[in-house]
C-alpha cells in the first residue's frame, strides 16, 4: 500500500491566501506558453509531473506574490488591483530559480529532480526565458502609467539580481580567506531580498499607495532577504535535506564560498587551518564533508552566520514596526517577513 502524502508544512494565513489569490492567473499565464515549455513550468511550479499529469507536489511558496498582495492591502486597496504584479513577480522569481539550478549544477529542487535534469538544459533555459516574457506581458496589459512603472521597477530589479549572481561567481573564484564579508553580505541582500523588496514596490504602485511606504517596505524586505540568504547558507550545510529539498552538504560539495565558510576561514581559530587543508583536497567523500561541517562550526562560522541572520531579521521587523501600519496589515507583513527567514509560522504572540 502506498504511503499517504506528507502533510504540507504549515504557513501563515496570508501566504495561503496569496497562493489562492495568484494561482489561477499564474496558470492562465503559463498556459499561453508553448505546450512543451508550459509543461516544464508546470512541473517547476509543482502543478504536474514530468509527463504533465496534475500533481500536488511541493511548489513555490509564493512569498513574492504575498508581498505584492499585502503591500496593496497596506495601501488600503483591494489586492486584485495588484494581481498582474503578483503574477509577474512570481514568474520572474521562478525564472531566476530555473537559471540558478543550471548555474549551480543543483540536481534537486523542491524535493525532486531539477527541471534541467528532467527536460534538458536547453529546454529549461527556454522555459525560464518564456517566464520572463510572460511576466512583462502581464504588466503591459495594466492600463495607465502603473503598468509601465511596475515594469520599469522589475526590469531594474532583474538587472541588479543578474549582476549579483555574477558577483557571487567572482567570490567562488576568490580564496575564501580573501573575500570581503561586507561585500558578500551585500550580495546576500540582493539575491535574497531584491525581488521581495521590488514586490513591495509593485504592490504599492499598482494600489496607488504612498512612495514612502514602498521605500520602507522595500528596506524591510531587503533586510529579511539578507537574513534568508544567510539562513540558506546554513541550511545548505546543516539543514534537513528533506525539508531543504536538496542533498545535504550541497554547498560544500560544490566548494562554494558561503558565509559560514568565509567566516570560519577568516576566524583565526586553530580549526580554520585544518578546514583549509581539508577543502583543498581534490575530492571530498561523506566523511570529509561531515568533518568540514564540524570544523566550520568549531571555527565559529556557524555562530557568526546565525548572528547575521538573527540581526537582519530583527532589522526587518524593526523597520516594519516603525511604519506604524494598522492591524492586520502590520501583523500579516510581519508574519511574511519572519516566515521568509525561518520557514515557520509565528504564534499569535510572535514567538515560535
What pLDDT does residue 6 have?
45
Which pLDDT value is given to residue 2?
38
Could you give the CA distance from residue 212 to residue 216 in angstroms, rounded to a whole number? 6
Q: In terms of C-beta distances under 8 Å and separation of at least 24 residues, what long-range contacts does 102-110 make, across chains too? A: 103/165, 103/169, 104/254, 104/256, 105/254, 106/246, 106/250, 107/247, 108/245, 108/246, 108/247, 109/44, 109/245, 109/246, 110/46, 110/57, 110/58, 110/59, 110/245
| Alpha carbons 305 and 313: distance in angstroms, whole number | 12
Range of the structural domain that residue 59 is part of: 13-342
Q: Is the distance from CB of 207 to CB of 71 less than 8 angstroms?
A: yes
Inside any domain, residue 1: no
Q: Is residue 352 part of a domain?
A: no
Q: Determine the pLDDT at residue 101.
A: 94
Q: What pLDDT is stored for residue 4 in this prediction?
A: 41
Question: Is 131 within a domain?
Answer: yes
Residue 150 covered by a domain: yes
Residue 7: inside a domain: no
Give the list of residues 6+ apart from residue 299 with CB closer than 8 angstroms, or none: 263, 264, 265, 267, 269, 271, 272, 275
pLDDT at 244: 62
| Assigned domain for 4 exists | no
* Residue 245 confidence (pLDDT): 60
User: Is residue 311 assigned to a domain?
Assistant: yes
Give the separation between CA 55 and CA 72, rounded to whole angstroms: 31
Total count of domains within the chain: 1
pLDDT along the chain (352 residues), means of 10: 50 95 97 97 95 83 96 97 98 96 90 94 98 96 92 96 92 91 94 96 97 97 96 89 68 91 96 95 93 97 97 98 96 97 78 52
Rounded CA-CA distance 115/343 in Å is: 24
Structure confidence at residue 5 (pLDDT): 41
Helix (H, G, I), strand (E, B) or coil at 52: coil
CATH number for the domain harbouring residue 273: 1.10.600.10
Q: Which residues pair with 48 in a beta bridge?
A: 54
Rg (CA), the chain: 20
Phi, psi (rounded to 5 degrees) for 92? -70, -35
Predicted local confidence at residue 350, as pLDDT = 54
Q: What secondary structure letter does DSSP report for 273?
A: H
In a domain, 3, yes or no: no
Amino acid at each position: 500500500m502506498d504511503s499517504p502524502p506528507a502533510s504540507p508544512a504549515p504557513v501563515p494565513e496570508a501566504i495561503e491566501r496569496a497562493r489562492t489569490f495568484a494561482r489561477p492567473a499564474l496558470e492562465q499565464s503559463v498556459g499561453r506558453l508553448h505546450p512543451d515549455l508550459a509543461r516544464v513550468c508546470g512541473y517547476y511550479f509543482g502543478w504536474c509531473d514530468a509527463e504533465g499529469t496534475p500533481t500536488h507536489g511541493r511548489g513555490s511558496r509564493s512569498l513574492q506574490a504575498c508581498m505584492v498582495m499585502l503591500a496593496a492591502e497596506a495601501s488600503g486597496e483591494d489586492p486584485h488591483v495588484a494581481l498582474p504584479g503578483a503574477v509577474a513577480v512570481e514568474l520572474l522569481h521562478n525564472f531566476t530559480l530555473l537559471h540558478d539550478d543550471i548555474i549551480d549544477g543543483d540536481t534537486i529542487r523542491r524535493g525532486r529532480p531539477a527541471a534541467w535534469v528532467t527536460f534538458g538544459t536547453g529546454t529549461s533555459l527556454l522555459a525560464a526565458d518564456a517566464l520572463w516574457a510572460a511576466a512583462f506581458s502581464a504588466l503591459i496589459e495594466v492600463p495607465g502609467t502603473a503598468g509601465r512603472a511596475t515594469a520599469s521597477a522589475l526590469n531594474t530589479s532583474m538587472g541588479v539580481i543578474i549582476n549579483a549572481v555574477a558577483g557571487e561567481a567572482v567570490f567562488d573564484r576568490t580564496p575564501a580567506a580573501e573575500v570581503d564579508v561586507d561585500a558578500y553580505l551585500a550580495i546576500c541582500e540582493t539575491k535574497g531580498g531584491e525581488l521581495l523588496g521590488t514586490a513591495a514596490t509593485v504592490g504599492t504602485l499598482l494600489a496607488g499607495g504612498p512612495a514612502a511606504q514602498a521605500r520602507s517596505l522595500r528596506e524591510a524586505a531587503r533586510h529579511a532577504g539578507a537574513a534568508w540568504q544567510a539562513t540558506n547558507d546554513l541550511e545548505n550545510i546543516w539543514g534537513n535535506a528533506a525539508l531543504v529539498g536538496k542533498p545535504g552538504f550541497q554547498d560544500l560539495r560544490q566548494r562554494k564560498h558561503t558565509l559560514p565558510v568565509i567566516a570560519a576561514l577568516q576566524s583565526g581559530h586553530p580549526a580554520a587551518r585544518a578546514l583549509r587543508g581539508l577543502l583543498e583536497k581534490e575530492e571530498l567523500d561523506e566523511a570529509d564533508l561531515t568533518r568540514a561541517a564540524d570544523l566550520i562550526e568549531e571555527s565559529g562560522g556557524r555562530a557568526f552566520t546565525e548572528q547575521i541572520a538573527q540581526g537582519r531579521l530583527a532589522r526587518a521587523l524593526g523597520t516594519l514596526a516603525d511604519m506604524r501600519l494598522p492591524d492586520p496589515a502590520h501583523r500579516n507583513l510581519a508574519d511574511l517577513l519572519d516566515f521568509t527567514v525561518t520557514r515557520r509560522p509565528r504564534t499569535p504572540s510572535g514567538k515560535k
